């Protein structure tokens, strides 16, 4: 299982918008990144990930702009991710690289990353 949190994504139908409110189903001690973050909860077999890491990229549908759909631009993610777990991505790619089994955070169309424990 991995939790992916994108900062500053404008709209999406796959990601869930989070809030720090008690009514938010994600507010179970795991969410500590503030309001208005986009969440993707992934249930996957981490043994199938390359060295425990996998790639992802945002896809945005904007109904306010004539229904346009766009992929996130290619990014250059930093090699080392911050956070209480952190880590070094194992290979170069033009996508975000997340560490399976942890909470990963990214900034949309930027190379920053962090990897956090669920505790």
pLDDT of residue 1: 40
Q: What is the pLDDT along the chain (119 residues), one digit of tens a residue?
A: 444 544 444 443 355 555 555 545 544 555 566 666 677 777 788 888 899 999 988 877 665 656 677 788 999 999 999 999 999 999 999 999 999 989 888 888 899 999 998 87
pTM: 0.73
Rounded CA separation 97/95 (Å): 6
């Amino acid at each position: 299982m991995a939790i992916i949190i994108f900062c500053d994504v404008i709209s999406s139908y796959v990601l869930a918008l989070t809030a720090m409110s008690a009514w938010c189903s994600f507010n179970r001690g795991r969410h500590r990144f503030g309001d208005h973050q986009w969440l993707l909860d992934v249930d996957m077999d981490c043994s199938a990930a390359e060295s425990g890491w996998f790639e992802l990229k945002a896809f945005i549908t904007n109904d306010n702009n004539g229904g346009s759909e766009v992929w996130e631009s290619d990014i250059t993610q930093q090699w080392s991710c911050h956070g209480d777990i952190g880590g070094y991505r194992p290979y170069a790619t033009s996508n975000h690289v997340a560490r399976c089994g942890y909470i990963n955070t990214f900034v949309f169309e930027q190379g920053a990353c962090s990897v956090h424990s669920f505790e």
